[in-house]
Structure 1
Amino acid sequence: MAPSCNHNQNRVQNGHQLPQEVVVVVVPFPAHGHLNQLLHFSRLISSYNIPVHYVTTTTHSRQVNFRVHGFKSTNNIHFHEFSTPVSNSPPINPNSITKYPSHLQLASQISTNLRKPVANILDSLSHKNRRIIIIYDSLMGSVVQDYLDIPNAEAYTFHSVSAFTIFMYVWENMGRPFAIDTDMIKDLPSNEGCFSPEFEKFVKSEHEYSKFSSGKIYNTSRVFEGPFLDYLSKEQINKGKKQWALGPFNPVSISGSIQPRHKSLTWLDKQGPKSVIFVSFGTTTSFSDEQIKEIAIGLEQSQQKFIWVLRDADKENVFSKDFTKKIELPKGFEERVKENGLVVRDWAPQLEILAHTSTGGFLSHCGWNSCMESISMGVPLVAWPMHSDQPRNTVLITKILKVGSVIKDWARRDELVKSSKIEKVVRILMASEEGEEIRKRAEELSFGVKKAVGEGGVTKDEFDSFIAHITRGI
């Protein structure tokens, strides 16, 4: 989204710099899927010449900047980095039946240590600016609560999940206060097994703070989630607050790769159009050795080209030098598939891989970041949900939008997925008429999203209206 106006330029009078008119403070939850979305959002806001201050821990600031892809510079964003007490997170257990990443539970404890530093930043900025806008992750409400004591501050809650998922969560919790299309809930998976009890309690306590915010922001598009945004805007749910659908936050096209190019992109350059399936399960998934073996055999027997990002879930500190056991593959696997496949064991530039013309499918956990990036780039998904919002994102992607298929139903989440199932689903997506139909729908949806963020598009207009709102009267 290109800036359409020149809000908030620095003013100079009698040789002295006057205060900024408006400044935005962004406070993400310290987990990659949240950090990444709000960094992309910060870039979009700053393109309107509005200063953005991004506040997180030292480790997580380093992490999100190291992994940023899709744009080349964050120089116009001010990073505030704070150290937090060192804590011993439990080890990753790839053999756990429940895939919720309990080893990252301490992220919620880390965030509580940010309350005082954030309050100090808000207080300082409030004296230098006519208005201070706080955009905070819905899991960081307690951290920013002191803005209520600042007369020229207002806050907006950012929801990091789909409008469909957040609507179903709220609607069910409210006792289903109005009727909706029954087709939407016919195959709706339960929330059982999605979260740990501790995290559920944490979410509820943080969401209490949202009642004080001035509005809600979603990383989604009216192009494909219009009905659910309309439901969320109903008085029973929204209580008269403003809401904006401003996504995708990530760039919808890649104008030039970050140098040096990652080896996966160089490998993709040599492949045919739409011929490669990208296999990646995000930053919070670890598999058992047995499941990894089945994935490997399934990919090999499918005889389809693939890039497989094979790495453990993120530790609390992704830069920790703790020993990490190399994930073992079946003997001779990489040698046998070297003509067809590439195994990547480090961080991979997912957005750039999805944007590449050789990528024709995405075997994914269906985290919302991955869904939005895949939709943006017109790449259909094979959904394998693990936890959190992923089972319901899967319903949105496969049953409602019909731009993907399911490899593992949530009701059978405790079962091993056999290589024969993986082979079958990969072949259907990559080498069948059914797969081609899914791909066409994904490409059409991508076209609609790209049109929406362009000049005169519904998303561009909504973003302009958000900027006009936070700069009103100035």
Structure 2
Amino acid sequence: MSSDQVEIVMVPLPAQGHLNQLLHLSRLISAYGVSVHFASTTTHNRQARIRVQGWNPNTTQNIHFHDFDIPSFPTPPPDPISPNKFPSHLVPSFHAAATHLRHPVAALLRHLSSKAKRVVVIRDSLMASVVQDVASIPNVESYTLRSISAFAMFLMLYNDVVKEKVSQEVLALTNEIVPEDVPSIEGCLSTEFLDFTSSQNEFRSFTSGYLYNTSKVIESAYMDLLAKIVPNKNHWAIGPFHPLSFLEKKTSNDSSHHFCLKWLDKQESNSVIYVSFGTTTTFSDEQIEQLALGLEQSDIKFIWVLREADKGSVFDGEKQMKRYHYQLPKGYEERVEHMGIVMREWAPQLEILGHPSTGAFLSHCGWNSCVESMTMGVPIGAWPMHTDQPRNAVLVTKVLGVGAFVREWTHRDDVAKANRVADEIRKLMASGKIRKRAKDLGGSLRRSMAEGGDSRMELDSFVSYISR
């Protein structure tokens, strides 16, 4: 494909999991020889670039960053004692991007449209208002990235929008393949976030199709259901987006080899549990203490990423970024230094999950983390916190069989006690059935991105469609 035929413009939601997906997708699409323009605020483009793993966007041809300065916006800290764990402190940054990016993005689209046969916008599902001007530019079309699992997306539409309108065929198939006890969205979202999503609704009709960071290897049935309840639109399952291997194989003697990976190099195969709850999770001090003691009591080696949740700007108060607020039990790190690492910095998650010593992933079940863990063949210990995570947890445990609950969503208001955490971790690490299923599924997912695989053919289909 010639770069003067089609230009791609990516418009992400300014939150880490969403920035990450569209930047990884930029890498995949740019490999077809088409120019990709990544358009966001200056702050969030910087965040996306420095945190991406497995490749270097600054040295990748055909990816161009457009840094747009916007007025300052509130960046309140996360609230660890909020009864609702949704990161409402990020919502002001969402509003700021949705409000102030429309005009610079429209100017970029008009500039590109003057020299290209077609301009294709791929925007986050929550950034619809930013690209509303596509309707007035003849050779520009927009596609929506749905950043959650097809399973969670189907349930959201089915239960909250179209359940009374679907055919008997869809009803029967849903009853057959969706577990009965899937949680509702009650308690998953905040009022502030629901108000923001409502502000995007009137602009969502400006889309020519939907992209998903998933594979038919794991979600074929739910992709089929989405096509039935949202007809007359194309749906492409083109994930996993992230790199499946790392170009630079580093040794333990390499100074650039992260210290946690050097530590993993010394551990036995499948002996370590990786613990990370993503970039938006906030725990109470009591829960942190119980989790710490549970890891210690489990006698399982661990890497625990213990960071505060991101603020709307991760660089706000940059000089104080190393100040850390979570307190561990007195003497804890000295007691566990023989069995684990507590990390308070950005962790190389992809490389940790891809390391042969990593035997499981204790996770909040954010979709990026689920896809990364499944692709690397690593079992998931589910501890969902908010948004789509409770439903993702059902998908990986009860549907796909590649994980087990460490803390059930129904107990979200309770503090998970140390002895329960320890018991569930030990059971997960000892489950040969789950480990085999995870390894097999990981192999299938990786093959799906190779030439002739399901996801690769979906990606080929999408690129062919937009270059028609």
Bin of the TM-score, shorter chain as denominator length: over 0.9
The equivalent position to 2:440 in structure 1, one of 437, 444, 457, is 444
Return the letter of the residue paired with 2:210. Answer: K
Q: Is the 8 A contact 2:75 2:93 kept in 1?
A: no
Which of 437, 449, 454 does residue 453 from structure 1 map onto? 449
* Among candidates 2, 9, 12, match of residue 8 of structure 1: 2
* Worse-superposed segment, 31-40 or 251-260: 251-260
Map of 1:175 onto structure 2: 163
Q: In structure 2, the residue corresponding to 1:462 is in which secondary structure? A: helix
Which residue is 1:242 aligned to?
234
Query: 1:388-407 to 2 correspondence within 5 Å?
Result: 388-407=387-406
Corresponding letter in the other structure for 2:163: G
Q: What residue is the counterpart of 2:245 in the other structure?
A: 253
Give CA deviations for 1:318-364 in whole Å, capped at 9, x if unaligned. 11226544321111111111111001001101111101111110000
**Paired position in structure 2 for 1:315:** 311
- Of 137-146 and 322-331, deviating more is 322-331
Q: Summarize deviations over 1:160-193 as a string: whole Å, max 9, x none.
A: 0000000000011213524123451411111111
Deviation at 1:74, TM superposition (A): 3.8
**Residue matched to 1:29:** 13
The answer to whether 1:377 aligns with 2:376 is: yes
Amino acid at match of 1:118: V
Q: Deviations over 1:248-295 (max 9, x none)?
A: 001122232587222111111111111110000000011111111101
Post-superposition Cα deviations, 1:174-233, rounded to whole Å, max 9, x if no partner, equal 135241234514111111111112212322442442322111101100001000000001
1:271 aligns with 2:267: yes
Contact 1:138 1:207 in 2 (8 A): no
Instruction: Give me the whole-angstrom Cα distance separating, in 2, the residues matched to 1:412 and 1:251.
Output: 35
The 3-state SS of whatever aligns with 1:109 is helix
Q: Is residue 364 of structure 1 aligned with residue 363 of structure 2?
A: yes
Deviates more, 1:182-191 or 1:78-87: 182-191
Amino acid at match of 2:458: E
- Give TM-score scaled by structure 2 length: 0.94
Matched, 1:462 2:454: no
Alignment partners' CA distance in 2, 1:183 and 1:224:
13
Contact 2:380 2:403 in 1 (8 A): yes
Q: 1:90 maps to what in 2?
A: 76
Name the CA distance, whole Å, in 2 between partners of 1:195 and 1:98.
7
Matches within 5 A, 1:52-201: 52-75=36-59, 76=61, 77-111=63-97, 112-173=99-160, 174-176=162-164, 177=166, 178-179=170-171, 180-182=174-176, 184-201=178-195
CA distance in 1, matches of 2:455, 2:196: 32
Change (3 A) 1:272 1:255: farther
Please name the residue that 2:354 is paired with.
355
Partner of 2:29: 45
Contact 1:257 1:352 in 2 (8 A): no
Q: CA deviation at 1:127?
A: 0.6
- Tell me, in whole angstroms, the C-alpha distance in 2 between the residues paired with 1:88 and 1:226: 41
Whole-angstrom CA distance in 2 between matches of 1:192 and 1:266 = 42
Q: Secondary structure, in 3 states, of the residue corresponding to 2:44?
A: helix
Q: Secondary structure at 1:220's aligned position in 2?
A: coil
CA distance in structure 2 between the aligned counterparts of 1:172 and 1:100, rounded to whole angstroms: 20
User: How far apart in 2 are the matches of 1:446 and 1:122?
Assistant: 38
| Residue type at the aligned position of 1:440 | K
Distance between the aligned counterparts of 2:269 and 2:324, measured in 1?
35
Q: Report deviation, 1:422.
A: 0.7
> For 1:52-75, what per-residue CA distance to the aligned partner results, in whole angstroms no more than 9, with x for missing partners?
000011111111111110113443
The match for 1:386 is 385
CA distance in 2, matches of 1:358, 1:139: 38
SS in 1 for 2:5: strand
Query: Is the Cα–Cα contact under 8 Å of residues 220 and 246 in structure 1 kept in the other structure?
Result: yes
1:101-133 C-alpha deviation (Å, 9 max, x unpaired) = 111111221222101110110011111211100
Q: How many residues align?
A: 451
Gaps of 5+ in 2: none
2:66 match: secondary structure: strand
Helix, strand or coil at the partner of 2:158: helix
> TM-score, normalised on structure 1?
0.93
AA aligned to 1:126 is S
Q: What is the CA–CA distance in structure 2 between the aligned matches of 1:53 and 1:89, rounded to whole Å?
A: 27
Matched, 1:218 2:208: no
Q: Given residue 119 of structure 2, which amino acid in structure 1 is its aligned partner? A: I
> Aligned partners of 1:399 and 1:24: how far apart in 2?
38
Code of the aligned partner of 1:52 = V
Using the TM superposition, name which of 374-383 and 324-333 deviates more: 324-333
What is the distance in 2 between the residues matched to 1:253 and 1:454? 12
CA distance in 2, matches of 1:156, 1:207: 15
Q: Is the 8 A contact 2:148 2:367 kept in 1?
A: yes
Q: Give the whole-Å Cα distance in 1 for the aligned partners of 2:156 and 2:86.
A: 18
Distance 2:262 2:7 in 1: 40
- Equivalent-residue separation in structure 1 for 2:182 and 2:137 (angstroms): 42
Determine helix, strand or coil for the equivalent of 1:23: strand
Identical residues among aligned pairs (%)? 51
Secondary structure of 1:393's aligned partner: helix
Secondary structure of the corresponding residue to residue 248 of structure 1: coil
For 2:82 and 2:206, how far apart are their aligned partners in 1? 38
Aligned-partner Cα distance in 1 for 2:210–2:93: 23
Q: CA RMSD in A?
A: 1.4
Aligned to 2:415: 416
Residues in 1 aligned to 2:129 and 2:108: alpha-carbon distance in whole angstroms: 15
Deviates more, 1:405-414 or 1:82-91: 82-91
Higher mean C-alpha deviation, range 356-365 or range 253-262: 253-262
Distance 1:114 1:157 in 2: 17
Q: Contact between 2:134 and 2:206, CA under 8 Å: does it hold in 1?
A: no
